[in-house]
Amino acid sequence: MKLTEIIASVKPADKEIFKQAQDRTANLIMPPRALGRLNDIGEKICSIQGTMKPKVDKRMVFVMAGDHGITEERVAAFPQEVTGQMMGAFVAGMASINILSKQAKSKVLVADIGAVCDVNAVPADPDNTFIIRKIRRGTANFTKGAAMTREEAEACVMAGFEIASEMIQKHGLNLIATGDMGIGNTTPSSAIGAVFTGETAEVMTGFGSGIDNEALQRKINTIKRGIELNKPDKNDALDVLSKVGGLEIGAIAGVILAGAYHKIPVMIDGIISSAGALIAFGLCPLSVEYMISGHKSVEPGQIKMLQYMNLEPLVDLGLRLGEGTGAVMAMHSVEAGVRVITEIATFAEAGVSGKEM
């Protein structure tokens, strides 16, 4: 299937089911919309899955990994080899995303989309999956030219779509999440955010994994130089991705498109996943109807990205890790929202008197 065919096949969430869900919420045995965002979530999941009996019990987080030539500009706190080392930790089941995914009853898939190194490992846990779909070994330094070719950018998106689609069909998934691994990837993410939102690099750029003030200014200047040199077109998402993006960011966009294509809610993680969401949104505006922002990151650019897509994060835990950790933590809230609309009785069902005025 071609990317254009995938985009054309994405349909809006079910508006009739959404109305039915709102009607049920209005009649639950509680004051009107007393459970706030949980009521909103339940209704949205109903409309996404096209049923008043939605389920979110079969879950997977897709951790997409890739390296970045922009690390040459000393914008990251850790050396590039950490990307491969962390992929190994994910596969071994010993990283933060593994532990939090177990709590959230979610499987973990790790995909090497563009790491510089090779990781040859067998998952130690049956709930883990490791796939190698390397498009190229890291992006180029986008202060010297485009990060990748347009063909490579599209290949990243397609890799994410195909990987997610295969797992959705294989495991019958009904809730998926996006995650990432890639040293230096907050820099292309902030650049993508600046292009789409029109905000300055100063507004969109944060400390990433822990750089100092001097490195932060270098990071801001790097983003400015990359955008000025490459002149990415915000009206062409593949152009933005190819010029200042990342391999794993493109794959995240593909995972999101797979969720929309298969009518499955997609939990969006922090700033890197939000950059992938911007690419998916640019390619297919309807895809945003299938997105749920898991959490508010401490990275300042992320909230600007979410506002651009009219998404509101579910929780704010002060996270800045990535990997998909905030997205899987928010799965608890999504399950609660689904239980609210499917399991709490209405006034009529419970034989409880309704509101009089």
Q: Using CA atoms, how far apart are residues 78 and 215, in angstroms rounded to an integer?
A: 12
Nearest by Cα to 301 from 239, 223, 235? 223
Give dist(CA 291, CA 266) in Å, integer. Answer: 5
Q: Say if residue 236 is exposed, middle or buried (CB neighbours under 10 Å; 0-12, 13-18, 19+).
A: middle
Whether 73 is a known active-site residue: answer no
C-alpha span between 293 and 284 (Å, rounded): 17
d(CA 262, CA 130): 22
The catalytically annotated residue of 73, 154, 323, 335 is 323
DSSP string, 259-328: HHHTT--EEE-SHHHHHHHHHHHHH-GGGGGGEEE-B--SSHHHHHHHHHTT---SB-------TTHHHH
> Could you give the angle at the alpha carbon of 20 between the alpha carbons of 36 and 337, nearest 5°?
35
Count CA atoms closer than 13 A to 223's CA, side-chain side. Answer: 29
Inter-CA distances, 103 with 26, 160, 220, 302, Å: 32, 25, 37, 25
Active site residues: 323
